[in-house]
Structure 1
Amino acid sequence: MISQGLKGVVAAQTSISHIDGEEGQLIYRGVEIRRLTKKYSFEEIAFLLWHGTLPSKVELENLKKELKKKRVLSSAVKSIIDQLPRNMDLMSVIRTIISAEGTTDYKWKPTISQAIKLTAMVPTIIAYWQNKLEDKTCHEPQYEMDHVENYLYMLTGSTPSKAHVDALETYMILTLEHGMNASTFSARVTASTESDMVSAITSAIGTMKGPLHGGAPSGVIELLNEIGEADNAEKVIRRKVENGEKLMGFGHRVYKTHDPRAVALRKKLLSLGGEDSWLDLAIHVENTAIEVLNELKPGRSLYTNVEFYAAAIMKSINMAKELFTPTFTASRVVGWTAHVLEQAEHNTIYRPQSEYVGEFKNPTAFE
């Protein structure tokens, strides 16, 4: 029996994460994601995914120090970036620079130190390229800033607000890992050949680049732009529902109920209420959409997905749409590297079969 795209096929056992689409659950290392976003930082949850436990105070400080040390790009790496054509898309830039990192330091078996280095590099690559492209000053990493705050600083050159850091950090935590998705599978397939960590992550980045996987939530941005102000929300949404138009940012192919990532983001944004108008508008639009749907299509349940609030966050911090998928990549590299490390523990090369559907020609015609 053929399962197109390997849909529904269990290809590996993992202890990294679990997704229950029917119950609307996302679990990292045995802990429901909404519990983790309440009190833990990007660095703490990255440690959890890599090691299987939350860090002690000393372990956390050591991880932060290593991330800060490794986030600085060498002059050689900057030179490579400077020589890339300006019309190169940012995901290709990231893929190229990460590939260039594949020196003899990266051998089978992969290590957590390698995972930390790649995680530290990606935000700096993004910021360096974006500032270069916009002919702006390329801001060096700030040692006193933690991972997400420093990323925002490097993009703008100014200290970001706490509300923006909290919102983006929550989003990045929620997108660190999401099971055997296409890019994670790609990383594990490459790692299964006993190739190196850099090759596996380069494979994952190439897969993430595809619009069917890492596409930006531009449709949600367009919806929020069209609404503009809270007073317009009901009119716009009612018109779209009555015309049978798709409400961008609502619904998910895996989650049949609430997307737990959207729920966690919503809770975070509610705690930041009044601190950013676009974040407030997103909350209002969701509430209005649910009310309109209940009135016009009773019995039909439709819930926001993580892209809905991701779009609101990206818009609130004035992040260019070209940065959406790269920012997703900057968080997901933690999950990819965790899977590469897990693959190495009990490695078996991936070798699925295919079914031949071509012709069997008369052999005498070729004699």
Structure 2
Amino acid sequence: MSNELKRGLEGVLVAESELSYIDGEAGKLGYRGYAIEDLATQASYEEVLYLLWHGELPTRAELEAFSENLAAERSVDDEVLAAVADLARSGADPMDALRTAVSMLPTYDPEADADAEDLAATRRQGRRITAKIPTILAAFDRVRRGEEPLDPADDLGYAGNFLYMLTGARPDDVAEETFDMALTLHADHGLNASTFASMVIASTMADIYSSVIGGIGALSGPLHGGANEDVMEMLEEIDESGTDPVEWATAAREEGRRIPGYGHRVYRVKDPRAEILEQRLRDLSASNDDTKWLDYTTAIEEYLADQGLLEEGIAPNVDFYSGSVYDHLGIPTDMYTPIFAMARAGGWIAHVLEYQTDNRLIRPRARYTGPTDVEFVPIDER
């Protein structure tokens, strides 16, 4: 056995998976063999969930039944919503509110006592979690804005229903399609930190709620989630200061400041998800007759390319464009990471289901570097 230290487990293989394929050198991403470009533009988020959880794309009849079952679980118990409202009025962070609310859900789950080895029950619990997260997040944001939460709209899909519950207006086709696409792009991405955290918890045969809560906790860290919020804050800073985007980026680099939304642990070229969202930003900008964010982001990207960052393997990631897309959809900046969690919960659940089919407790070791053979001195003699 090698004793070579791999900080952050970088490059260490700990599992086999059929869920996500990532080629960081070529900029490719696929779910169960399907290219992300095809799934994002031709499949709904519900279809992608079915693919991740069941291993194949659904027939139309299977999708209709799956979507109906998912929609039927959207309502959240009054006690949970009351807690969410209290957190909203207290000024809580949305990710804290989401983590707290999800931790309450098993109290009201009729299968809360199901054995973790019962993967069919785990899948049903995962469906409930996935269905209820949008309701929780929309209620939180509406209450803190002094508005009443809205009941889910049964005639809208997963993406459209969230936008309706959040804004109070039924989204147009462009908005609903764009948000659905964004959810698909964020649904899964290999053994990232939050997915691995979920799997570690699941490997103890804890319930799926514990795994999702762990994923939310990992995603709340600034080194994993939150970069699209940073990008949006950068764009707003540029706009409010009246600075030319290229001048801002030049000054930031001279000051040693990091450009948010740039670079990725895996991709050495432009993130394929960024390519797709850039095009959606162009479509939204044209539809809304507002190209400000598009102009800023493309100017910065062109400048950084001229500076040779692409040759260094530093390119735009998915966050560089997702924030601008969400802003066009009327989504508050501090809701971006919770939305990431909403989309990625489907991936967390898929990895738990996959791993627990052949479970082994994840138990790495650390190299001890402290002292040895230290003589103990009783407390009265110290």
**TM-score, length of structure 1 as denominator length:** 0.91
* Match in the other structure for 1:192: 203
Aligned mate of 1:118, from 129, 133, 146: 129
Aligned mate of 1:65, from 49, 64, 68: 68
* Match in the other structure for 1:149: 160
3-state SS of paired residue (1:101): helix
* Match in the other structure for 2:349: 337
* Match in the other structure for 1:105: 111
Q: How far does residue 124 in structure 1 lie from its aligned partner after superposition?
A: 0.4
3-state SS of paired residue (1:177): coil
2:269/2:310 contact within 8 Å kept = no
Output the CA distance in 1 between the equivalents of 2:366 and 2:310.
Answer: 42
Aligned mate of 1:267, from 279, 282, 306: 279
* Match in the other structure for 2:147: 136
Stretch of structure 1 that moved more, 296-305 or 86-95: 296-305
Matches within 5 A, 1:25-44: 25-44=28-47
The question of 1:19 aligning with 2:31 is answered no
The question of 1:316 aligning with 2:322 is answered no
The question of 1:95 aligning with 2:111 is answered no
Output the CA distance in 2 between the equivalents of 1:272 and 1:161.
Answer: 12
Q: Deviations over 1:288-338 (max 9, x none)?
A: 334434555597465321111111012212322221111111100000000
Output the CA distance in 1 between the equivalents of 2:247 and 2:86.
Answer: 50
3-state SS of paired residue (1:165): helix
Output the CA distance in 2 between the equivalents of 1:77 and 1:355.
Answer: 43
1:282/1:309 contact within 8 Å kept = no
2:85/2:139 contact within 8 Å kept = no
Query: Quick one: structure 1 residues 87 and 294, their matched pair in 2 at CA, closer, same or farther if it must change by over 3 Å?
Result: closer
The question of 1:225 aligning with 2:231 is answered no
1:127/1:154 contact within 8 Å kept = yes
Output the CA distance in 2 between the equivalents of 1:65 and 1:95.
Answer: 26
1:170/1:268 contact within 8 Å kept = no
Aligned mate of 1:173, from 184, 193, 216: 184
Output the CA distance in 2 between the equivalents of 1:78 and 1:226.
Answer: 35
Output the CA distance in 2 between the equivalents of 1:342 and 1:241.
Answer: 43
Number of residue equivalences: 366
3-state SS of paired residue (2:339): helix
Query: Quick one: structure 1 residues 192 and 171, their matched pair in 2 at CA, closer, same or farther if it must change by over 3 Å?
Result: same
CA RMSD of aligned residues (A): 2.6
Output the CA distance in 2 between the equivalents of 1:25 and 1:67.
Answer: 30
1:71/1:121 contact within 8 Å kept = yes
Stretch of structure 1 that moved more, 106-115 or 293-302: 293-302
Output the CA distance in 2 between the equivalents of 1:295 and 1:205.
Answer: 37
2:297/2:321 contact within 8 Å kept = no
Output the CA distance in 2 between the equivalents of 1:308 and 1:362.
Answer: 52
Q: How far does residue 267 in structure 1 lie from its aligned partner after superposition?
A: 2.9
Query: Quick one: structure 1 residues 222 and 209, their matched pair in 2 at CA, closer, same or farther if it must change by over 3 Å?
Result: closer
Output the CA distance in 2 between the equivalents of 1:115 and 1:304.
Answer: 32
Q: How far does residue 249 in structure 1 lie from its aligned partner after superposition?
A: 2.1
Query: Quick one: structure 1 residues 82 and 8, their matched pair in 2 at CA, closer, same or farther if it must change by over 3 Å?
Result: same
Q: How far does residue 241 in structure 1 lie from its aligned partner after superposition?
A: 5.5
Write the letter of the residue equivalent to 2:111. D
Q: How far does residue 244 in structure 1 lie from its aligned partner after superposition?
A: 5.9
Stretch of structure 1 that moved more, 246-255 or 76-85: 76-85
3-state SS of paired residue (1:18): strand
Q: Deviations over 1:84-118 (max 9, x none)?
A: 47233221222222122224613213432222111
Q: Deviations over 1:162-211 (max 9, x none)?
A: 33222222211111101111111111111111111111111111211222
Q: Deviations over 1:120-168 (max 9, x none)?
A: 0001001111112222121111111111111011111111233322222
Aligned mate of 2:365, from 334, 353, 361: 353
3-state SS of paired residue (2:106): coil
**In percent, how many aligned pairs have the same letter?**
34
Stretches of structure 1 that go unaligned for 5 or more consecutive residues are none
Write the letter of the residue equivalent to 1:101. L
2:219/2:341 contact within 8 Å kept = yes
Output the CA distance in 2 between the equivalents of 1:298 and 1:347.
Answer: 42
* Match in the other structure for 1:208: 219
3-state SS of paired residue (2:199): helix
Q: How far does residue 65 in structure 1 lie from its aligned partner after superposition?
A: 0.7
Q: Deviations over 1:209-254 (max 9, x none)?
A: 2222122423311332244499944554455556665433232232
2:51/2:58 contact within 8 Å kept = yes
